[in-house]
Structure 1
Amino acid sequence: MSDDVKAGLLVIGDEILSGRTEDKNISYLATWLNEAGIQLAEVRVVPDIEGEIADAVNALRARYDYVFTTGGIGPTHDDITVDSIAAAFGVPVVTHKEAYARMEAYYGAENFTPARQRMARVPAGGELVDNPVSIAPGIRIENVFILAGVPKIMQAMLEDLRPLLKGGRKVWTQALTIHVAESKIADGLGALQAAHGGVSIGSYPFYHAGVGAQVVIRSPDQAAVSTAMEALRTFCRENAFATEGPTEIE
């Protein structure tokens, strides 16, 4: 892999798109991946429709080093992620013997219902991702990792993947909060960006506790981030703009 290792995330579920459930996995996964030297480059949210899931998986896995999916691997009829990803790879769905044995031992034969048995199904060729929280595993097939949608379970599954992922360059990030209307710093930020081509400078306005903007500087080059941040602080001092920070963002 090159120095820049990128990933895509596919968030699956009608409940996300309807607003009934708030997604809490994107931010966590982006931070976790960056620590591993992998950049989350794209996020898509799709409904529980097999064709749309399959199309999105195929698009993402062709574009990025890794693809992660969250949601749709539970015991109910609308948990169709396994079927959809099997369709994307053009393989059948099979019962994974080890997954079946683990869950039967966990639940007990009398409580290992047909619904729970669904969670032992994998696309043919899939490997298990451990789930230390509730036993039902995630799945790896080629560069696609099929994870639970429940944040606590998703986070636990990620730790099982850490040794399998090859990272590249970590992106370093610093943020400075500036207590002035964003329009007053726009020209200065444009000039800073032009002068510091090795970094990305983003401005994110806020309107709580006064008006201002958080300016975020990112780059795989830690020294370049520090240099650009010092230039930003100088700009603020010269214009008597009140600031807070800078802070390191993981």
Structure 2
Amino acid sequence: MNVAVVTVGDELLAGRTMNTNATWLCDRLSDSGVSVERVTTIPDRISDIARVVNEYRAEYDAVIVTGGLGPTHDDVTMAGVAAAVGRSLEEHEGALAWLEDDGYSRADLTEGTADLPKGARALHNETGVAPGAVLEGIYVLPGVPSEMKAMFESIEAEFSGTATYRKEVVADEPESALLDRIAEVRERFDVTVGSYPGESVRLSLTGTDEATVATAAAWLRERVESPN
């Protein structure tokens, strides 16, 4: 399964808010064996949301969109997603019923709170107000991290793939000096290798067979200089 993650918000692009949602989602999806192919941040603009979501839903098995849910003037994600699939927005009775069960009166709710693309499956917001939605492989989640996490966990079983395993080897050598051993471990074992330089170089070995990954990591660890 391959997935694109789209985060919506002017505040993300301005650097006023850290994009922790994307990092958390990528980590959870990867742990489930799902391949995250794209992470894109776009402004609170209906045309941009519609264009990116429409492009990605044609390329990937699923698109996860976070941020911009609610009834305020800059909460336009549902409208953008509706435009991407050519549907109108309509009040969702199921979402309204959930809100009533949570103690919200319909008369007190701001107009548009429960508007979802026509025919969408509503996702209940266990820790907030604005509901999420699922339609045509598009999953729309809130931007508030606590709300997003709770909602994703309610649908996490819908995302699965081949389990992958990872081991890390730390080398106290320049990255360029490690190229021969990186090439050799890839030839010897069915693993991929990521190289991440810093004070030391972190070599991340991943593969679909746990024993192979462990053996490859042990082989490589014996052939690099380790930090003291």
The partner residue of 2:50 within 51, 54, 58 is 54
Counterpart of 2:206 in structure 1 is: 218
Q: Could you say what secondary structure the match of 2:222 adopts?
A: helix
Q: Is the 8 A contact 1:172 1:219 kept in 2?
A: yes
Which blocks of at least 5 consecutive residues in structure 1 are unaligned? 245-250
Shift of 1:112: 2.0
- For residues 189 and 37 of structure 1, do their structure 2 counterparts lie closer, same or farther at Cα, with a shift above 3 Å needed? closer
Q: CA deviation at 1:124?
A: 0.4
Match of 2:62 in 1: 66
> Any unmatched runs of 5+ in structure 2?
none
Cα distance change of structure 1 residues 111 and 28 upon mapping to structure 2, 3 Å threshold: same
Mapped partners of 1:72, 1:136: distance in 2:
10
Q: Distance in 2 between matches of 1:83 and 1:110?
A: 21
Aligned AA (1:69): V
RMSD: 2.0
2:193 aligns with 201
Once the two structures are overlaid, the 10-residue window that deviates more, 182-191 or 72-81, is 182-191
- TM-score of the aligned structures, taking structure 1 as reference length: 0.84
| 1:247 alignment counterpart | none
1:86 aligns with 2:82: yes
TM-score, normalization: structure 2?
0.91
Residue type at the aligned position of 1:149: G
Of stretches 125-134 and 100-109 in structure 1, the one that deviates more from structure 2 is 100-109
> Is the Cα–Cα contact under 8 Å of residues 178 and 243 in structure 1 kept in the other structure?
yes
Corresponding residue of 2:21 = 25
Distance 2:30 2:16 in 1: 29
Q: Is the 8 A contact 2:200 2:227 kept in 1?
A: no
Question: Residue 177 of structure 2 corresponds to which residue in structure 1?
Answer: 184
Shift of residue 39, structure 1, vs aligned partner: 2.1
Aligned to 1:144: 138
Q: Percent identity?
A: 32
State whether structure 2 residue 221 is matched by structure 1 residue 233. yes
The answer to whether the 8 A contact 2:96-2:106 is kept is: no
Q: Deviations over 1:149-192 (max 9, x none)?
A: 111111100121034x1522111111122223323323322333
- Residue 126 of structure 1, aligned match among 120, 128, 132: 120
Matched letter for residue 130 of structure 1: H
Q: Could you tell me how far 1:119 is from its partner in structure 2?
A: 2.2
Paired residues, number = 228
C-alpha change, 1:128 and 1:60, in structure 2 (3 Å) is same
Report the AA paired with residue 21 of structure 1.
T
